């Protein structure tokens, strides 16, 4: 099977890495990709938001499966264009992708389906914002209704900061604050059958101790030793299946990867948000533990055959990923700095640790930074402590001027001090 992956981040590198290890994948392509993906897939230049261009590329390559990684192409309808070309595609339609593209749409889906979530108001004027903020009180949760690359949410006790964020958005969803730890749970679905993956936890704040601004994610780990063993079954029954069934009833069936961001509150599980694709950096650790070949799983979802899929097989190992970000991320990150030490990681830490590229590009013989989150180091081990040790050992081999990373990824769950 020839597979084409659309995207250029660490999530797409993780997908390509897993697909490259699948014996059923005869050729692997990625567009536009990055410097790391180029080591496992043939790269192609294409506008990832141009559905006709993506469909033409897939047709020209003779791709048997297209995997659309990022949210923006999905919301732009790229998956629809590929389907119209007669090629199986893993990723929801433009209409179904609104479950991530619009927070208000997602809230409506949940309300109709009876999915537990926080109370919320949709606001378009300063007066509506002020009323909603006053109704909920601090801490304030203000979400840009549209796509914001993981940085459209402000959680703050500063009323002025909450109002300023709302003023910068055309429409916002203001929610009650949900207490308790957060969990990310992915599910593969063909629009009817739902197959949950293993849960993970990510770290959104830029700095240790969950301080600093929200980011697209600074690290993740799986499994969650503190979570209720029944959590996945509960979320499948109360969140994932009702949502997929509800989307089908409203005429916008969801096929692809449904990501549920959850809060384990004192009142039970509540949905914080839905995404329409694999999440970064959780994908890195979840796929590191998946033993079932990935291509068959994605193809079953793309062709409506998930009900016939054998149960997924998982490694007992733990996985940890640590994101290395550029200077001044998530503000105005500096780019163009050379990255060294990648060969040392490959030589000294494989096969238990590896680097997944995000914001990188090749400049002559050098690999340089080209974005805010530059790369992530993922490692596996018999438990979280060993996986953490391996990940942070590999991080120390990498040199990027002015770079930053959190030292406490999975530390609390592993019962160990920060690196």
Q: Percent of the chain beyond pLDDT 90?
A: 85
Radius of gyration in angstroms for the set of CA atoms belonging to the chain, rounded to a whole number: 20
pLDDT for 239 beyond 80: yes
Average pLDDT of the segment spanning 360-377: 96
pLDDT for 150 beyond 70: no
> By the 8 A CB rule, do 357 and 38 touch?
no
The pLDDT of residue 326: 97
Question: Confidence class of residue 151 from pLDDT cuts 50, 70 and 90?
Answer: low
Question: Confidence class of residue 154 from pLDDT cuts 50, 70 and 90?
Answer: confident
DSSP string covering 359-418, please?
A: SEEEETTEEEE-SSEEEEEEEEESSHHHHHHHHHHHHTT-EETT-B--S-TTHHHHT---
* φ, ψ (nearest 5 deg) of residue 406: -80, 145
Question: Confidence class of residue 228 from pLDDT cuts 50, 70 and 90?
Answer: very high
What pTM value is reported for the model?
0.92
Q: Which of 219, 137, 136, 211 has its CA nearest to residue 184? A: 219
pLDDT for 380 beyond 60: yes
CA dihedral 301, 272, 214, 36 (to 10 degrees): -10
pLDDT for 350 beyond 80: yes
- Taking only the tens place, the pLDDT of each residue in 73-130 is 999 999 999 999 999 999 999 999 999 998 889 989 999 999 999 888 889 899 889 9
Q: How far is CA 297 from CA 90, 235, 241, 287, 306, in A?
A: 10, 20, 18, 12, 8
Measured CA to CA, the distance from residue 109 to residue 105 in angstroms comes to 6
pLDDT for 360 beyond 60: yes
Measured CA to CA, the distance from residue 95 to residue 97 in angstroms comes to 5
Task: Kindly give, in sequence order, each residue whose CB lies less than 8 Å from that of residue 160, ignoring residues fewer than 6 positions away.
Answer: none
- Taking only the tens place, the pLDDT of each residue in 189-223 is 999 999 999 999 999 999 999 999 889 999 999 99
pLDDT for 149 beyond 70: no
Average pLDDT of the segment spanning 155-177: 90
Question: Confidence class of residue 345 from pLDDT cuts 50, 70 and 90?
Answer: very high
Share in percent of the chain as helix, strand, coil (round to 5) = 35, 30, 40
The pLDDT of residue 146: 77
pLDDT for 148 beyond 70: no
Length of the chain: 419
DSSP string covering 267-298, please?
A: TEEEEEEEESS--TTHHHHHHHHB-S-HHHHH
The pLDDT of residue 318: 98
Choose the weakest-confidence range: 11-25, 163-177, 273-287: 163-177
- Taking only the tens place, the pLDDT of each residue in 19-73 is 999 999 999 999 999 999 999 999 999 999 999 999 999 999 999 999 999 999 9
- Taking only the tens place, the pLDDT of each residue in 253-286 is 999 999 999 999 988 999 999 999 999 999 999 9
> By the 8 A CB rule, do 362 and 271 touch?
no
Q: Beta strand 172-175 with 194-196: parallel, antiparallel or unpaired?
A: unpaired
The pLDDT of residue 125: 92
């Amino acid at each position: 099977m020839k597979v084409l992956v659309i995207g250029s981040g660490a999530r797409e590198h993780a997908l390509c890495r897993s697909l490259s290890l699948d014996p059923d994948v005869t050729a692997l392509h990625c567009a536009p990709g990055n410097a790391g993906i180029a080591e496992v897939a043939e790269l192609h230049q294409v506008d990832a938001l141009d559905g006709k261009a993506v469909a033409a590329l897939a047709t020209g390559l003779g791709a048997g499966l297209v995997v659309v990684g990022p949210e923006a192409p999905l919301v732009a309808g790229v998956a629809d264009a590929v389907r119209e070309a007669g090629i199986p595609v893993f990723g929801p339609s433009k209409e179904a992708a609104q479950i991530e593209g619009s927070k208000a749409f997602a809230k409506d889906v949940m309300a109709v389906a009876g999915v537990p979530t926080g109370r919320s108001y949709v606001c378009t004027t300063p007066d509506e914002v002020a009323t909603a903020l006053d109704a909920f009180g601090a801490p304030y949760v203000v979400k840009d209704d549209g796509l914001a690359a993981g940085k459209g949410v402000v959680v703050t006790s500063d009323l002025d900061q909450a109002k300023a964020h709302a003023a910068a958005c055309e429409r916002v969803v203001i929610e009650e604050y949900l207490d308790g730890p957060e969990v990310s749970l992915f599910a593969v679905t063909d629009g009817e059958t739902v197959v949950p993956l293993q849960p993970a936890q990510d770290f959104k704040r830029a700095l240790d101790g969950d301080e600093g601004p929200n980011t697209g994610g600074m690290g993740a780990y799986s499994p969650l030793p503190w979570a209720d063993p029944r959590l996945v079954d509960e979320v499948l029954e109360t969140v994932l299946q009702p949502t997929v069934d509800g989307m089908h009833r409203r005429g916008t069936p969801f096929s692809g990867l449904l990501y549920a961001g959850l809060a384990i509150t004192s009142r039970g599980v509540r949905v914080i948000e839905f995404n329409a694709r694999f999440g970064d950096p959780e994908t890195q650790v979840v796929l590191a533990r998946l033993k079932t070949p990935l291509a068959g799983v994605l193809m079953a979802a793309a062709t409506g055959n998930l009900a016939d899929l054998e149960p997924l097989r998982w490694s007992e190992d733990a996985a940890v990923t640590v994101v290395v970000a550029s200077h001044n991320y998530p503000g105005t990150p500096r780019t163009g700095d050379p990255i060294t030490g990648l060969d040392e990681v490959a030589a000294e830490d494989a096969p238990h640790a590896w680097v997944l590229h995000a914001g990188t590009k090749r400049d002559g013989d050098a690999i340089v930074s080209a974005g805010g989150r530059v790369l992530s180091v993922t490692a596996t081990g018999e438990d979280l402590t060993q996986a953490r040790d391996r990940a942070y050992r590999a991080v120390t081999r990498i040199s990027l001027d002015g770079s930053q990373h959190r030292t406490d990824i999975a530390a609390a769950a592993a019962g160990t001090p920060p690196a």
